[in-house]
Amino acid sequence: MAKLYSVGKSAPRMGAMLLLFGLLMASLELTGAQIGVCYGRNGDNLPAPGEVVALYNQYNIRRMRLYDTRQDALQALAGSNIDLILGLPNDNLQSISSSQANADSWVQDNIKNHPNVKFRYIAVGNEVNPTGGQAGFVLPAMQNINKAISSAGLSNQIKVSTAIDTGVLGVSYPPSSGAFKNEALSFLNPIISFLSNNNSPLLVNLYPFFSDLSNMNYALFTAPGVVVQDGQLGYKNLFDAILDAVYSALERAGGSSLKIVVSESSWPSAGGTQTTVDNARTYNNNLIQHVKGGTPKRPTGPIETYVFAMFDENNKTPEQEKHWGLFLPNKQTKYQINFN
């Protein structure tokens, strides 16, 4: 059999080609890894966590957001190499904010006891009302969890943040005029300082679905051209416009250095206005492709984004809240979805 290459002359070239291929694949993996999917569990017919982790791997979904610390899910994630946002639920905020010992125990039980899980962020609270009764617990809880993470020697690996919704915006149009509501600033300003000081991102749940749907092409990433011109910046989709409004608001609040991680975004397939399978498929597939790049204001991408959610959750109310899943509880896709 004839030799395919000469060891003396072509092997180095083959080695260089293999190295280049390896670097290319690493680059592709990094780009693909910017997309995660939220694993909500508010249903009574969902697959076991081990099956869910296998489904993430089957579809090459390399990042997950979990909203609580149920140990079966953390155990299932061990050795999976899936990057994780782990949630500290709102009903735990008071306890964690009031005691460093409580925070240390939480980190021991849910982080240190799971050394083979790839924790990425801790989301301390989710969409806490800036003027509500829990608002005062968020920053102290973040500080205590961060101290516990630092004491464990994990501060370079795991960043502490909180997830907000875009209802904290007082001005969102045009995007360059984005500003937080005055009543939210006493809640947000010290959190922004904390995130800046610790090189942590701000987690933002961002839903064009809950915004102005008068132009569905603009909402679904299907507009053929610029819809909103904001000075030198042109916006072809509502997702970018909302995200850049939050960036503008951060700049006004002294957080110009912060990175935003889109910790939820999606479109429901039933239960309300414009909630169809076709719209959900269009939005989510276009979202996954779109966030490989940046926004007009922050053009250097990709945008780390988590699609909500893995499954329909039948215990949620109202009806619309039941229909955000990419997958049915039987693990079949609700519609064709491409995570690549």
The catalytic site residues sit at 127, 264
Give the pair of three-digit tokens for residue 280: 């959900």
The pair of three-digit structure tokens given for residue 243, joined into one six-digit string: 């995200």
Question: Whose structure tokens read 């039941």?
Answer: 322
H-run or E-run covering 126: strand 118-126
Closest CA to 325 of 337, 311, 339, 315: 311
Paired residues of 63 in beta bridges: 83
Residue with tokens 């915004």: 211
> What letters, b where the CB count within 10 A reaches 16 and e where it falls short, cover 216-241?
eebbbbebeeebbebeebebbbbbbb
| Spatial separation of the C-alpha atoms in residues 315 and 44, rounded to whole Å | 7
Q: Which residues contact 265 (CB under 8 A, 6 or more apart)?
A: 205, 206, 207, 208, 239, 287, 305, 306, 307, 308
Question: What H or E segment, with its residue span, contains residue 118?
Answer: strand 118-126
- In the block, residue with structure tokens 């610029």: 226
Distance CA(196)–CA(200), nearest Å, equals 6
